[in-house]
Structure 1
Amino acid sequence: MAPAAGTEITLTTSPLVDSGSGSTYTFTGTETSTTFYLTETTATTSPHININVTDGTASEDASEDPALQFVNTALLFSSTTSQTSCENSATMTLRAIRTDDSTGACVARVTGDLAVDMAYACVDPTTCHGDKNDAVTIRALDTDGTTLLNSGSIADNPDDSVSDYISRTLRFDGSGVANFTASYSDAGEIALHAQLSLAASSPDPAITLSDSSESFVVAPESFKVESFKSDGTTALNNSGSSGAPSQVAGDAFQLKVVAQCSDGTVTKNYAWDTDISAVAPSSPDTGSGGTLGNVYFSSDDTKVYGDAGTTTSASASDFSDGVALLTNARYNEVGSVTFQANANNYRDDASADITGTTSGEAGRFIPDRFILSAPTLTNRSDLAPTIPADFTYMDEALELGFTLTAVNAQGETTQNYEGSYAKLDPTASGDLGIGARDPVGGADMTSRVDVGTSSGTWSGGTVTVSAEVALNKLGSPDGPYEGLLFGVIPSDGDGVTLDPSTLDLDVNGNSTNDHAEIGSTDILLGRLNVVDTTGHESLPLPVTLQAEYFDGSGFVTNDRDDASLYNSTYGELDNYTDNLPTTSGEPTLSGSGTLSDGTGSGMSLSAPGSGNTGSVDLEYCLETCTNGTGGAGLGYLQYDWDGDGSHDDNPTGTARFGIYTGSDRQIYIEEIY
């Protein structure tokens, strides 16, 4: 933080130096530091020079106030900056200098090729890794700073005890400066150490010059991220939309994060808080509507991304020998995804951010389960009656409707479950697992359920399914089935299905619920009957249709049928008798309507005219007529009228025109019109 504008500081030394003590500086309010220059022409002795800074109120922190030593001869490292593991640093220098006796300036103490004992110390962590002995390589450069002279490793040491050195030959130029680079095949904060032993040379005595560099941070070049199933051996390397391996979204799997040198070897001393994120490329592609999910770590299956107790990073303590094995990694979406590890301010050095290379796409992630909602059952769905029906005939379609949502282990919607990543096909009846049970008789009726067309399209992890089903007739009349229960157990190609704890219908009767109930209704074996009729040939003859159902012992009028439609278009006249005309003046059928209480009398035959008496058969064509013309599309009301074991016959009734004379023994017959 910058001192306030106008703040004046004063620097003093004890003892006084030749120049610089007493200097002052006034801050403008924007700077956070300033530089003072001190001069001393005489080598100091312990405790050397103490520097004091004050603004009149506050003074320097004693822990950051080392003594300043002036020497006649010195070995000095240049300043250092952070660098990357296994990569050569920028050119560094080691300078051997002395004080010129005449001018007091710093001049070369040595020149030429000299053996320098060199070492490095592991500062943080304070101990070098046992598998990384002598991990710093020094490249000695010529005086031009670029031409390589030689290279070799130097000795490693713990921070608190530097005693092991390895001799390296450096070339000192006319200014006493030797150029070199350093590379470190591990990670952490280190410092370089050097010793230069010089023999006596009049008037200079024998001396060993030594120095240590500022500590500097060496960061891994990148991270490698690998994904495995919870067994730790099966790689999650499926980037496709199908096939193995697969992993349940939201379930724990393993992420292995490896800190690496630029040559791919492991930097075993690395341990730092490291962020893990899900990044592109992912599949389905976010550019085509896919959703990029989140990776997080939690030991609790119920926690979702962003909950307290979940994290998106590996802590320093997760790393061992430069590797973090995260056994509770979770990804909350469907498809495949790329993982990336990054670390900021490594070893608190703002210039040592590490951006990891991305992994290959990991996957394939699939939903944990489906959630079913909004179940509906619509009777007689093909008719879509204005007045809702409370039953459906056998062989007649009813509609089952429901919504499925694909979710991960935490119950979050997996929005990528669509397109080729959705393995449940709503149009495939086998994927829906439709079943039925008779709650009265206790029978599994699934084998008699015929699934017609079904529809639905997955979008954003959700689909609304509509399926037409019918209960097939048997050869012999049966039923009625009151409150027949319908249920579903949808399952996709990966075995994703409903949570067993949400199932509420035991279709197979083994005392374990195996389906989710959609609804119940009465299923009736029905038939349509054309009632025989008689009337005067001079008047129109009403025709009555009657819906009937099997009540367990015989057929009775179905007074619940208020929805079946009829139309004279589907009537076929045949088998004229007596003198009924078959050309001009023949009776014709007209009228239409909807059954009410199971009966419809809205059709009639026209009068053939006086004297045109006789009978005609009226076939009402529920499906194809006998003569091949089309029918009303009510085939479920056909019946086995001919007794051949197949319910494929249209109903036929007889219409008679003319007054019946009756028996000669009758005195009077009244015909009411």
Structure 2
Amino acid sequence: MNKWLSRAVIGFFAVLSANALAFQDIDNSIYFPAVAQGHGSCNGAPKPQFVQYDNAEITGTQGEQLQFCSINGYPPSGGCDGSICQVDNTTVPSLSLSGGNSFKTSSYNGTQIAWCSSGQNIPLTESNIGKIQVYDSCTLTFSGQSEYKVKALEMGSGAKAILSAGDYWVQSLQLNPNSVIEVDGDVRLFIYGNSDWNSADINVSGSGNLTIISYGNVTLNDSTEVNAYIYTDNALTLNNHAIINGRTTSRQLFMEGNTQINQNQQQGLTCFEDDFNRTSLGQNWVPFTSTGSFIPSIVSSRMRLTEALNNEATAATYQRIFPAAGNVVTVEFDYYAWANLSGVGADGVAVIFSDATITPKTGGFGGSLGYAPRTDSTPIKPGFAGGWLGIGLDEYGNFSNPTEGRTGGPGFRAQAVALRGSESASYRYLTGTGANLSPKLDVRNTSTAGPGHRYKLTIDSRSSGAVWVRVDRTYNGTQQTLIDWYNVLNASGQSAAPEDLLLSLAGSTGSSVNNHEIDNFRVCALKSRPVEPQVDHFRFTLPQQGLTCSASDVTIQACANESCSQLYTNPVTATLSPDSTPSATGGWVGGSHVTFTNGIATTQLRRNTAGNVTVNVIGSTPSSKPYQVNLCSYTSSPGNYSTANCTVNFADSGFIVDVPHAYANQTVTGSIKAVRKDNASQQCLPSFQNVQKSVSFWSDYLTPNSSDAGFSAYTVSVNGTGIGQAANVATPLNLSFNQNGEANFTVAYRDAGNLALNARYTGSGDEQDLLLEGQDSFIRVPRALLLSANNSYNPAHQSGQCSAADISCKVFARADEAFELNIRAVVAKPNEDNDFTNNLTAYNYQQQNIALQHSLVQPATGVAGDLDAESYNHELGATTTVRQKVSEVGVFDFSLVAPSSYLGLNLAAANLPIAVVSTGSIGRFIPAYFAVSQPMSSRVTLDAACNTSNAFTYLGQSFTYANPPSPYLYPKSANGADTQNYLIEPWWRYNNQWDKRTYSDIVNGINVGFSNSLSTPLGRQSTLNSQVLLSGESLWYEKPVQFKEVFRAAFDLTLNASDLTDQDGVCYRQNATSDCQGFTFTQIDRTMPLYWGKLVIQDVYGPETQPLEQPIYVEHYTSNGFIRTTDDSCTSLPSISNFALQSTDYDVTTTGVPVPPQVLAGLTSSNLSQGKSAIRFSAPGAGITGYIDSILNLNTHDLMWLAEDKDGDGSFDQTTQGRAQFGLYRGSDRVIWWRESN
């Protein structure tokens, strides 16, 4: 397993004893990944695991869900950064609090300090401490130990405890009002029992890093404030106004009142590990071999640096950069040095820190351990390139010995550890152990790898003017300090630390050997960063022959890959060799420091005397990959890159050829001058004057190379004649040299690129054996870059061009969906139009990292959005096609930023700007899909038909929405980003009316009907957002003939896919490629009761001499049968005149004063009160007996939701009735029960 685990470890920066490190390093990325989370399995977790009430708040969630199994219902609306907290039903792992992580108790069982006085300072320097009780303004200061075990600590009334760096094991911690804990350094506080903190301040200044691990519960009360990462095995409770600044992980989190948890990320050591349990080293190590054939690799799950073979020197550089200033770096590994051989083993391993701007290269083999030089070998082996500190584990003994080219040291010291210094101090010996460490560094006569001791190297540069180094070793559980704190900067000649350091491991053998291996590698640092993309290597293009009286042009490429098919186009600066200005031995015009633009630098090399100059790159920012070799090619043999071609020979005579840069296909005038060096002035003097000579010309393709795929070969013409493309087919041309020894000629080349024009004169006759040669490279620049677009999304509009540039444009593409952006380079022509469309194509133009850009044409008030491809590489050929995307909606103009340089040529300075012709208005771009959601803050609720204190609705009765469906239709790009421009009118294209909507209640098995009086019931809420609202909806549960007990509304509103589709076909999907789908508002409301109700007109009787009241009431069905609906004070009855009052005995009137035997009828109330009303009949008079049937047509008066099927025919009766009887009458045999009314 490859354990490249990034760990933010809040631990110690000093080297601690093995015992102090018993509790594991706490990996914050695992146990404290966010501001607050739960731990442990959700199986058996407290429910809810996260409880939040009142005004409690967590800040720093960044809008992400919290890792808890569950949360209480109705948490505060602003509980997480102003929004409702959401949980994702997951947790983080629990810390093990057993085994090596078990709590450590103090061996002091009594009370150690029972009181203190104000102003008293009490030092605590022992590791086992008893019970402490302090309740006055005194100060406890813990110092001198790395671990403290305290039986109990109680504080209050102004008492203060100052904790220095270390681990604190407190069995019982009670913090009472006005107690203060200050932290100095990096502290871990372990608490065994439940702990209450009441109005206490803990690390409030945040001056140190504090991690608190509780084996029980922790409760913060009142105004307690803590700056820490807090882990509780059980519950963490915040009451009142308590505040935690940091992060929390707990089995349960409870927050109430005005409590806060605020994100506050602590700084700690970040660690990286490698156990080498795989087959290859991978991307995090770069191996190299300078002597021998073995390359560092993984063998038996360890990194082997050397085999047990003679004269090997290897290294592996770790791909991370460590800033040298203000940092702490620790390096740990298990060390194996062994061989199944007798005799003395050799040599060892060096841990090396080197200047990150210099490409690492290993030092000498044998006793130099790959770090120090080795001058007794052929060839001489220089020391490690850019080396600043080498820590050698030396089995044989020569790393401390001032022999074989090493500087300084006490002499031969076998079985020792030693430090050597910087390259500038000749890798001088600094300090080391004595000889013959016990146990030894290696084991012999064994086929089992060993000894496996663990080494720990610490470099601390946080103190001004000092870099402290310490080396420790652990074996059999015992820690041994080999080199105690040593200030490297005190050493004679030691250079100041470079800005950034690289870490390498080097191994070597000599005439004696061992296998050298490491395992369980771990490096930690306060500050580090990954090695940024590096230059693979550098390539020089330079003349093979130069003139001592003139500078020679040199082009350098920064290669991004091994073949240099791609250039490193980020900014690069480099230092060249020779590191000097021009001199008798050679140097660079303007100095040896060069800056690269788009991967290319141009400079000039000069040597003032005949001879050779060898070029190279000494170092660069960013550096090139470790151990890589730079290559060179002569302009006379382009593409032939080799280390053997890095030497230029300078002669005293030759041709100076000058061809100006120009646009491709442009004819220019060049010149050639035959010169010789004047020894007095060092200047070039003319050789030919007022004479005609036959000079042979040929050209070379430099960039692109003629072997590159897609290259188109065109001939260079000189004076209108096409010339050869190699020296053996050079074309002779007669030139007339003037009195200054100079001749002019015309040069033309049809395409773009960098070429060399070579000239040679071979003497004859009196000039026998005279050979003059010269060359110049010239660049041909494309005249313009033309852009166009294409997409197959809409076959009727593939080009996307739309001059109207508004909503009338046809659809071209969806936001963040790929379309083709085509770029064509063209050459110059004598008569050009403004758009260059008639110019010939430049097939050989290639350039990397050209910035693309765009602008929004419409909507004018919108946003431009982002391009997917921010740059592109122009390739050889007719057209380069870029798969482009834009994240927004609208009409756009796509363009590019004209390159400011080409093949190292500053185009502005050369007055050769490349014109750019943009696409013009391209559109229309639309959203890729809608995401749909009903926000929790506007949950769909119902408005009951009877909205009393116990609101309800009868089955069959219409009700409406209190909070209607109002989803957001989020217009999304294909990548899932919001498209803001769609919200702008008239770019909002959704005007659907949900014509396909349906309702259903599968929970209760009742059909739901609806109607809407509005022609456009669906409308947009606001032009500022994407919310739509359903208005005017009237709904009802269809009443079944069969009775049904009370249930609560829980119906679904289902929208068809077409309901969620706009005029351009943008629909609701899960993503840009899934099918269009509908959306369901599920189990709406779930609170409104539904009653199966009926209206009852009761049968009554009474004496004819008294008025008679006939009750009318409503009932609903329950599990106990029908009961009076006492909550109904809503139902309205029609006027009494709408009742059919039928009688053969009486003349029933509803108005006026009755004259017996007339009977006057009237309602006691037209609205039911507590589910009841009544018809009051006047008394007909003594002896005038009879009955009246009171009949109400429910259908006529829209009260069918109170109808029932009395006759059992399977349909509701349209009327309901009751009989009022005056006089003594035994009643109908069909009537079971009569009520007498007084």
Match of 1:366 among 927, 941, 961: 927
Alpha-carbon contact 2:954-2:1092 (below 8 Å) kept: no
Aligned position for 1:518: 1082
Q: Matched residues in 1 for 2:794 and 2:779: separation? A: 40
- Give the partner amino acid of 2:917: T
Whether 1:425 and 2:959 are equivalent positions in the alignment is: no
Q: Matched residues in 2 for 1:479 and 1:166: separation? A: 114
Whether 1:94 and 2:671 are equivalent positions in the alignment is: yes
After superposition, the C-alpha distances for 1:308-331 in whole angstroms (9 at most, x for unaligned) are xxx644346xx341533345x444
Alpha-carbon contact 2:794-2:812 (below 8 Å) kept: no
Aligned position for 1:491: 1060
1:113–1:367 CA distance, 2 compared to 1 (3 A): farther
Question: Counterpart of 1:393 in 2: which secondary structure?
Answer: coil
Q: Matched residues in 2 for 1:156 and 1:587: separation? A: 125
- Give the partner amino acid of 1:314: Y
Q: Report the CA distance between 1:272 and its aligned residue.
A: 2.9
Q: Matched residues in 2 for 1:473 and 1:368: separation? A: 34
Match of 2:864 among 261, 281, 292: 292
Alpha-carbon contact 2:994-2:1055 (below 8 Å) kept: no
After superposition, the C-alpha distances for 1:641-670 in whole angstroms (9 at most, x for unaligned) are 9x9xxx9999898998xx9334499xxx99
Alpha-carbon contact 2:800-2:812 (below 8 Å) kept: no
Aligned position for 2:184: none
Among all aligned residue pairs of Structure 1 and Structure 2, give the percentage whose two residues are the same amino acid. 14
Higher relative contact order, chain-length normalized (CA < 8 Å, sep 6+): 1
Match of 2:702 among 117, 123, 128: 123
Whether 1:218 and 2:789 are equivalent positions in the alignment is: no
Q: Residues 41-190 of structure 1 correspond to what in structure 2 (within 5 A)?
A: 48=610, 66-71=648-653, 74=655, 76-77=657-658, 80-81=660-661, 83-86=662-665, 88=666, 93-96=670-673, 120-127=699-706, 132-134=712-714, 152=720, 154-155=722-723, 157=725, 163=729, 165=731, 184-190=749-755
Whether 1:410 and 2:978 are equivalent positions in the alignment is: no
Q: Matched residues in 1 for 2:977 and 2:1036: separation? A: 39
Q: Matched residues in 2 for 1:26 and 1:291: separation? A: 47
Aligned position for 1:546: 1114
Alpha-carbon contact 1:400-1:466 (below 8 Å) kept: yes
Alpha-carbon contact 1:136-1:154 (below 8 Å) kept: yes
Question: Counterpart of 1:190 in 2: which secondary structure?
Answer: strand
Q: Matched residues in 2 for 1:330 and 1:191: separation? A: 40
Match of 2:1019 among 407, 430, 455: 455
Q: Matched residues in 1 for 2:1042 and 2:827: separation? A: 79
Whether 1:314 and 2:868 are equivalent positions in the alignment is: no
- Give the partner amino acid of 1:456: R
Q: Report the CA distance between 1:592 and its aligned residue.
A: 7.5
- Give the partner amino acid of 1:359: T
Aligned position for 1:661: 1223
Q: Report the CA distance between 1:492 and its aligned residue.
A: 0.8
Alpha-carbon contact 2:655-2:759 (below 8 Å) kept: no
Q: Residues 606-617 of structure 1 correspond to what in structure 2 (within 5 A)?
A: none
Question: Counterpart of 2:903 in 1: which secondary structure?
Answer: helix
Aligned position for 2:903: 347
Q: Report the CA distance between 1:540 and its aligned residue.
A: 11
Whether 1:269 and 2:844 are equivalent positions in the alignment is: yes
- Give the partner amino acid of 1:291: V
After superposition, the C-alpha distances for 1:211-247 in whole angstroms (9 at most, x for unaligned) are 4324436246214242323899972517564785554
Question: Counterpart of 2:825 in 1: which secondary structure?
Answer: strand
Aligned position for 2:942: 379
After superposition, the C-alpha distances for 1:127-164 in whole angstroms (9 at most, x for unaligned) are 288885446677x8xxxxxxxxxxx575473xx75845
- Give the partner amino acid of 2:825: A
Aligned position for 1:147: none
Q: Report the CA distance between 1:280 and its aligned residue.
A: 1.0
Cα RMSD of the aligned pairs, angstroms, is 6.5
1:134–1:651 CA distance, 2 compared to 1 (3 A): same
> With structure 2 as the length reference, what TM-score do the two structures score?
0.35
Alpha-carbon contact 1:259-1:266 (below 8 Å) kept: yes
Q: Report the CA distance between 1:179 and its aligned residue.
A: 6.8
Unmatched 5+ stretches in structure 1: 15-20, 28-32, 40-46, 54-60, 141-151, 297-310, 503-512, 626-633
Question: Counterpart of 1:281 in 2: which secondary structure?
Answer: strand
Q: Matched residues in 2 for 1:243 and 1:10: separation? A: 62
Q: Report the CA distance between 1:189 and its aligned residue.
A: 2.0
- Give the partner amino acid of 2:972: V
After superposition, the C-alpha distances for 1:377-434 in whole angstroms (9 at most, x for unaligned) are 43346777765658763654454444333333433333333344444325x123xx42
- Give the partner amino acid of 2:671: L
Question: Counterpart of 2:847 in 1: which secondary structure?
Answer: coil
Whether 1:393 and 2:980 are equivalent positions in the alignment is: no
Question: Counterpart of 1:417 in 2: which secondary structure?
Answer: helix
Q: Matched residues in 1 for 2:1044 and 2:1080: separation? A: 23
1:652–1:25 CA distance, 2 compared to 1 (3 A): closer
Alpha-carbon contact 1:184-1:218 (below 8 Å) kept: no
1:583–1:523 CA distance, 2 compared to 1 (3 A): same
- Give the partner amino acid of 1:227: N
Q: Report the CA distance between 1:124 and its aligned residue.
A: 1.0
1:670–1:127 CA distance, 2 compared to 1 (3 A): closer
Q: Matched residues in 1 for 2:778 and 2:843: separation? A: 19
Q: Matched residues in 2 for 1:34 and 1:255: separation? A: 36
Aligned position for 1:323: 879
1:437–1:336 CA distance, 2 compared to 1 (3 A): same
Unmatched 5+ stretches in structure 2: 1-572, 593-601, 616-631, 633-642, 829-835, 1155-1159, 1228-1233
Q: Matched residues in 2 for 1:119 and 1:653: separation? A: 119
After superposition, the C-alpha distances for 1:272-301 in whole angstroms (9 at most, x for unaligned) are 324464511354x2x42x2323332xxxxx
Q: Matched residues in 1 for 2:1126 and 2:986: separation? A: 44
- Give the partner amino acid of 1:237: G
1:357–1:374 CA distance, 2 compared to 1 (3 A): same
Q: Matched residues in 2 for 1:171 and 1:346: separation? A: 34
Match of 1:337 among 863, 872, 892: 892
Q: Matched residues in 2 for 1:92 and 1:76: separation? A: 11
Q: Matched residues in 1 for 2:1037 and 2:1136: separation? A: 26
Q: Matched residues in 1 for 2:614 and 2:853: separation? A: 52
Q: Report the CA distance between 1:67 and its aligned residue.
A: 4.8
Q: Matched residues in 2 for 1:605 and 1:197: separation? A: 136
Q: Matched residues in 1 for 2:865 and 2:651: separation? A: 59
Q: Matched residues in 1 for 2:1030 and 2:894: separation? A: 39
Question: Counterpart of 2:881 in 1: which secondary structure?
Answer: strand
Whether 1:256 and 2:822 are equivalent positions in the alignment is: yes
Q: Report the CA distance between 1:97 and its aligned residue.
A: 6.3
> With structure 1 as the length reference, what TM-score do the two structures score?
0.59
Q: Matched residues in 1 for 2:1011 and 2:1194: separation? A: 23
Q: Report the CA distance between 1:566 and its aligned residue.
A: 4.5
